[in-house]
Amino acid sequence: MVNQQAIEAAKASFGKVMAEQLVRIENIKKPQEWTDYSKLKPIKIGILGGDGIGPAISAEAQRCLELLLMDQVKSGKVTFKVIEGMTIENRIAKNAAIPMDVLDEIYKCDVTLKGPTETPEAGEGRANIESANVAMRKYLDLFANVRPVRIPAQNIDWTFFRENTEDIYAVGSQGQMVTPDLAVDYKVISRPGSRRIAEAGFEYAKKNGKKRVTIVTKANVVKTTDGLFLNIAKEVAKNYPGIEMDAWYIDIMTAKLLDTARRSDFQVMVLPNLYGDIITDEAGQIQGGVGTAGSANLGKKYAMFEAIHGSAPRMVKEGRAQYADPSSIIRAGAMMLEHIGFQDLGERLHMALDICGQYEKKLVMTGRSNGAAGKDFGDYVVATVRDSKTRDRWNAYVHATK
């Protein structure tokens, strides 16, 4: 017999979720300009260490940024502020994805560099708080998660534009146990939400001379939501006549990333949140591990930069935190430099990471005591950045290995 009472309760909850979503979507439609960092003085950079391996790896990225931005700090163009309290202990104590006082500090900054933060899993027995990453993306409306993966020696230069506020993540903590036997989560895709991520991907392609944008969905099966995402992307593509658009399904796309004969043909990928989450870990692994991959979470007003991976509580438990690879968050730092208007400095940091992690490899990170410590790797990157010949070294390596 159908449990009508359970259905009514589920309908009420559905109505509430939909009402919230409609408000959110109206907000997306309001016109808003992108922040012009050239006009800001100072540009306020917040640093959040996070938890688990976060504080250790963030400290290395902070060192690189402080070194590269030394002149800008002196001239008052840039300020740094360390924001405390984004730890799992404090978040559980305050029972908040992001404690209010921490959020206030975040809002005072223009951009933030954020170390990984732990997300408790449902049913673990700890407070079931929402992921701090996911919450921050929502609060600051950081809708574009930009994740580059580059292996110059293999001609791989991919940039993933992962939609960052919708899909299964939009109300990930408000799914429904309709009855004890039936669980339902919501996959939410909106027209303006899809439009802005597709536009971000195409704009990036246009500005960076890319010739191809690939839309990745599962629109053959998930017809309504992924179908909308794909259709909007097709509409947006019409405004970019010089750029070829093609569409792939997520399953075959994950396979194609392993196809050494064809994978370097892909340039810019635009995709809904969950597929983007999964495939960027795969792409990061191809680059040398998720510990090498950084990301930008961009909104029109704010931006947050972080590693693509989590806080690795297992590494901490096993006493290996000091061997965590800081490359991921240093890459995120390089992306921050590019985003706030210091393209040359950002590129120099990217090149230093390529040299240290992909070519020269004087120190190798394994995540264990048989590899280098994160701090020593940080020293290595800093020394490489300081070298006035960073670009020459990078060119020599790229040409020698191609």
Q: In this structure, are residues 149 and 287 in contact, taking their beta carbons and an 8 Å threshold?
A: yes
Strands 212-217 and 268-271: parallel
Among 46, 288, 310, 378, binds ligand IPM (CB under 6 A): 310
Does residue number 170 form part of the binding site for ligand IPM (CB under 6 A)? no
Query: Using the rule CB under 6 A, is 133 a contact of ligand IPM?
Result: yes
As measured in angstroms, the least distance from the Cβ of 201 to Mg ion is 19
* Helix residue ranges per DSSP H, 171-272: 191-207, 225-237, 250-256
When binding is defined by CB under 6 A, the residue of 35, 112, 131, 327 that contacts ligand IPM is 131
Residue nearest to ligand IPM (CB): 131
Residue closer to ligand IPM by CB (options 110, 167) is 167
Among residues 166, 226, 277, 354, the one that binds ligand IPM under rule CB under 6 A: 277
**Judged by CB, which is closer to Mg ion: 141, or 277?**
277
Contact call for residue 306 and Mg ion (CB under 5 A):
no
**Residues in Cβ contact with 121 at an 8 Å cutoff, skipping those fewer than 6 apart:** none
Chain positions 145 to 164 lying near ligand IPM, rule: CB under 6 A, are: none
Please provide residue 178's backbone torsions phi and psi, each rounded to the nearest 5 degrees.
-65, -50
Judged by CB under 6 A, the stretch of 6-14, 126-134, 209-217, 332-340 that binds ligand IPM is 126-134
Peptide bond preceding 42 in cis form (omega within 30 of 0): yes
> What does the per-residue mask of binding to Mg ion show for 254-283, with x meaning CB under 5 A?
-----------------------x------
Q: Is residue 68 close enough to count as binding ligand IPM by CB under 6 A? A: no
Measured CA to CA, the distance from residue 353 to residue 351 in angstroms comes to: 5
Residue environment code for 22-51, b if the CB has 16+ CB neighbours within 10 A, otherwise e: eebeeebeeeeeebebeeeeebebbbbbbb
Q: What's 323's DSSP letter?
A: G
Q: How far is the CB of 317 from ligand IPM (least distance, A)?
A: 17
Burial 280-291 (b: 16+ CB within 10 A, else e): beebbebbbbbb
**Residue 119 near ligand IPM by CB under 6 A:** yes
CB of 55 to ligand IPM, least distance (A): 16
Closer to ligand IPM at the Cβ: 131 or 327?
Answer: 131
Q: Does position 57 bind ligand IPM by CB under 6 A?
A: no
Q: Is 118 in the site for Mg ion (CB under 5 A)?
A: no
Residue 120 CB, nearest distance to ligand IPM (Å)?
11
What DSSP letter does each residue of 59-109 carry, written as one string? Answer: HHHHHHHHHHTHHHHHHTSEEEEEE---SHHHHHHTTSSS-HHHHHHHHHS
Q: Please, which residue, 147 or 196, has the CB nearer to ligand IPM?
A: 147
Nearer to ligand IPM, 119 or 358 (CB): 119
Residue 308, interface with ligand IPM (CB under 6 A)? yes
Q: Smallest distance from the beta carbon of 290 to ligand IPM, in angstroms?
A: 9
Task: Give the whole-angstrom CA distance, residue 246 versus residue 248.
Answer: 7
Q: Scan for tokens 């993933």, then name that residue.
A: 160
Q: Which is nearer to ligand IPM, 146 or 156 (CB)?
A: 146
| Nearest-angstrom CA–CA distance, 290 and 2 | 46
CB 277 to ligand IPM: min, Å? 5
CB 329 to ligand IPM: min, Å: 12
Three-state SS sequence of 260-309? CCCHHHCCEEEECHHHHHHHHHHHHHHHCCHHHCEEEEECCCCEEEEECC
Q: Which residues bind Mg ion (CB under 5 A)?
A: 277
